[in-house]
């Protein structure tokens, strides 16, 4: 699958398309990240997720959803991994992040909430997150990065998580900072008893694709000048 997606995504990129990958579980976009690594000298990954996904292997399998970011970091073109909303990780993953010399930056949910409850604004927290990112950014969005009330059908829900508008505000702030979103994925959206999971997932995908297009100069955003003036 890695090689298949690398080839398919690469062909679309070479045709001048902006590409978004839909999972499946979070292991799916690795081939796309490989394709981007062949076309960009360096970039960072903004990962919105409940989990770190930094395990070398999970139950003996090296290409599972629990290893996607560990595998992505094997690519030297991935200069930075910035993780947002994390609230479930193991000791091995924590030690890997600590040994990364700043290549892995984690913004756990508990840390973000403590800052907000202490009077800091979400805007200020977003600026801290974005300051860790290089000019070119790949967004990897696991739906369980959101509060489980927004994605009750996902496979590994964890209490806590971002609100829908908090996630979109962060994405918009990435674009407003002048950074380019070179690609994105959305994973782990699973059906439930109603259409709710699909509704949230579809709206999130719509926003991801549109803001990626804005960052690449493919479409204009009406609110961009207003925000620049505020800055």
- φ, ψ of residue 213 to 5 degrees: the values are -65, -40
* 51 vs 187: CA distance, rounded Å: 13
* 88 vs 109: CA distance, rounded Å: 9
Question: Structure tokens of 176?
Answer: 């407003």
pLDDT tens-digit readout, 61-118? 999 999 999 999 999 999 999 999 999 999 999 999 999 999 999 999 999 999 999 9
Enumerate residues 6+ apart whose C-beta is below 8 A from 148.
154, 157, 158, 159, 161
* 200 vs 50: CA distance, rounded Å: 17
pLDDT tens-digit readout, 168-199? 999 999 999 999 999 999 999 998 889 999 99
Residue 172 · residue 211 · CB < 8 Å: yes
At residue 226, the pLDDT reads 46
Question: Structure tokens of 69?
Answer: 């970011």
Q: What's the average model confidence in pLDDT over 214-225? A: 84
37 — pLDDT class (breaks 50, 70, 90): very high
Question: pTM of the entire structure?
Answer: 0.95
Q: Tell me the domains of the chain and their CATH numbers.
A: 2-217 (3.40.800.10)
Name beta bridge partners: 139. Answer: 46, 184
Q: Does the pLDDT at position 229 exceed 50?
A: no
**Residue 3, CB-side half-sphere exposure with 13 Å CA sphere:** 0
């Amino acid at each position: 699958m890695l090689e298949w997606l690398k080839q398919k995504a690469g062909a679309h990129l070479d045709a001048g398309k902006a590409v978004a990958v839909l999972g499946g579980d979070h292991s799916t976009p690795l081939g796309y990240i490989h394709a981007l690594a062949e076309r960009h000298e360096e970039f960072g990954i903004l990962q919105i997720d409940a989990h770190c996904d930094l395990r070398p292997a999970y139950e003996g399998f090296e290409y599972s959803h629990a290893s996607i970011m560990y595998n992505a970091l094997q690519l030297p073109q991935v200069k930075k991994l910035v993780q947002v909303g994390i609230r479930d990780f193991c000791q091995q993953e924590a030690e890997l992040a600590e040994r990364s010399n700043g290549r892995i930056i984690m913004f756990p949910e508990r840390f973000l909430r403590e800052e907000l409850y202490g009077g800091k604004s979400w805007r200020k927290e977003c600026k801290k997150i974005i300051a860790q990112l290089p000019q070119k950014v790949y967004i990897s969005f696991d739906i369980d990065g959101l509060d489980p009330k927004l994605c009750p059908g996902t496979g590994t829900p964890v209490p806590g998580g971002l609100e829908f508008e908090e996630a979109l505000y962060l994405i918009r702030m990435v674009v407003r900072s002048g950074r380019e979103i070179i690609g994105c994925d959305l994973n782990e959206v699973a059906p439930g008893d109603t259409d709710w999971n699909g509704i949230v997932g579809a709206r999130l995908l719509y926003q991801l694709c549109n803001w990626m297009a804005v960052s690449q100069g493919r479409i204009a955003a009406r609110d961009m000048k207003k925000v620049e003036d505020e800055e």
